[in-house]
Structure 1
C-alpha cells in the first residue's frame, strides 16, 4: 500500500509494499508531523517507509522516516515489532538530528 497525503502543508509519502497501513498508524504519522513542527517550521515533506521481511519467528519489521527540510534532510530508521512505537522512536531520533543541526 502506497499513499500520498498533504497535511498542514507537508507532503506525506508512505510506502509500504505488501502491507496495509491502518488508520491508527496514519494518525500517528500526522502526530509525528505535529511533534516535528515544534522543532522546525520548514518541513516540506515526510517520507515513511514500512518494510516487513521474513516470516514467523525470523520476521523483521523496519520503519524509515525522512524529513524534508531546507538543507540536508534528516533520516532515521528503527527495527522492532510495534509500528506505532517504532514511529515514535524514529520521530524522536529525527528531532535530535534537527536540534543538533540548529
Structure 2
C-alpha cells in the first residue's frame, strides 16, 4: 500500500510493503507530524516507510520516517511488534533531533 497526500501543507508519502495500513494508523502518522511540526520552522515533506518481516519466531515490524526540512533532513527508525509504539518512538527521536538544531 502506497499513498501520497498533502497534510497541512506538507507532502506526506507513505509506503507499506505488502501490508495494509489502517485508517487509525494513518491518523497516528498525521498526529505525529502535527507534533513534530512544533519543533521545526518549516517542513517540506515527510516520508514514512512501514515494513513487516515474518521470521520463524516473531513478526518483526519496522517504521522509518524522514522529515524533509531546509538543510539536512532528519531521519529515525524503530523496530518492534506494535505499529503505534513504533510511531511514537520514531516521533520522539525526530523531535529530539529537531530540538538540537
TM range (shorter): over 0.9
1:17 offset after TM fit, Å?
1.3
1:58-97: CA deviation from partner (whole Å, max 9, x where unpaired): 3211100000000000000000111011101101100100
Corresponding residue for residue 53 of structure 1: 53
Looking at secondary structure, tell me which structure has more helix per residue.
1
The runs of at least 4 aligned residues of structure 1 exceeding 6 Å deviation read none
Corresponding residue for residue 86 of structure 2: 86
Unaligned 5+ runs, structure 1:
none
Aligned residues: 101
**TM, length-normalised to structure 2:** 0.95
Q: For 2:42 and 2:28, locate their aligned partners in 1 and report how far apart those are by CA, in whole Å.
A: 20
Corresponding residue for residue 2 of structure 2: 2
Give runs of aligned pairs for residues 1-102 of structure 1, distance below 5 A: 1-55=1-55, 57-101=57-101
**TM, length-normalised to structure 1:** 0.94
C-alpha RMSD of the superposition? 1.0
Range 15-24 or range 48-57, more displaced: 48-57
1:3 offset after TM fit, Å?
0.5
